[in-house]
Amino acid sequence: MVLNTSSDDTLLALFGGTFDPIHYGHLRPVEQLAKETALDEVILLPNNVPPHRSQPQASAQQRLKMVELAVEGNPLFSVDSRELAVDKPSYTIETLETLRKEHGAQRPMAFIIGQDSLISLYKWHRWEELLDFCHLLVMARPGYSESPDTPPLQRWYDKHRVTTPAELKRRPHGLIYQANTPLLDISGTEIRQRRQEGKSCSDLLPAAVERYIDSQGLYHA
């Protein structure tokens, strides 16, 4: 295991997603996670979706704009649009390889996922290599059990899991931390459905994002 000997021991976190649209189920748990693990910076990475998966309803540019509006003026967050700039599916592992080169071998770096993503992580491209580049911070999500449930994934999870957030800053990568984030039963699917039914989503996502959705006529029947 590589120990962090760099003077820069601030913890950088990356949070990837479709963000179709971004909502409080993304933002609130991450804000809580930042307090719990003393995260210094969270970079939001809206991703390009592989052709064989169901495509987002909003365009890449619209999803990017919604992410920017959601975090405008919030110093915890910044937005990185690199995965949208290339006309091919995003593989998290490849983005992490690039970001690791940019931030140096010793900077503690983490990738944030929800519990649903942890459970299906074994389907991700080169999933077993993720911890060679970052830690994983896992946020609880209603309806998903904590345990990954798939034997190779469960073994990997048990091997790398730590329960003390302070450990995340002592190493640049390689650990999994299960956070005590609030359970918010919100999904992009629910918001798109509510919009189709003409219902307000004002308690589910920031007002600036809902205004943009209205102005673009997004998610209508």
- The answer to whether 17 contacts ligand ATP (rule: CB under 6 A) is yes
- The answer to whether 145 contacts ligand ATP (rule: CB under 6 A) is no
Tokens found for residue 26: 């993304």
Exposed e or buried b for every residue in 159-197, given b needs 16+ CB within 10 A? eeebeebeebbebbbbbbbbbebeebebbbeebbeebee
User: Which position among 25, 108, 172, 206 is part of the footprint of ligand ATP (CB under 6 A)?
Assistant: 25
- The answer to whether 184 contacts ligand ATP (rule: CB under 6 A) is yes
Q: Phi/psi class of residue 189: alpha, beta or left (left: φ > 0; alpha: ψ in -120 to 50)?
A: alpha
CA distances from 133 to 76, 104, 179, 184 (A): 22, 10, 20, 29
The interface region with ligand ATP, picked from 1-9, 15-23, 69-77, 101-109 by CB under 6 A, is: 15-23
User: Which position among 172, 174, 188, 206 is part of the footprint of ligand ATP (CB under 6 A)?
Assistant: 188
- The answer to whether 20 contacts ligand ATP (rule: CB under 6 A) is yes
- The answer to whether 195 contacts ligand ATP (rule: CB under 6 A) is no
In the complex, the smallest distance separating the C-beta of residue 119 from ligand ATP, rounded to whole angstroms, is 9
- The answer to whether 186 contacts ligand ATP (rule: CB under 6 A) is yes
User: Which position among 70, 139, 168, 204 is part of the footprint of ligand ATP (CB under 6 A)?
Assistant: 139
User: Which position among 19, 157, 177, 219 is part of the footprint of ligand ATP (CB under 6 A)?
Assistant: 19
- The answer to whether 116 contacts ligand ATP (rule: CB under 6 A) is yes
Neighbouring residues of 213: CB distance < 8 A, sequence distance ≥ 6? 21, 66, 195, 201, 219
Tokens 């592992």 — which residue? 93
| Footprint of ligand ATP (CB under 6 A) | 17-20, 25-26, 29, 113-114, 116-117, 139, 141, 184, 186-189
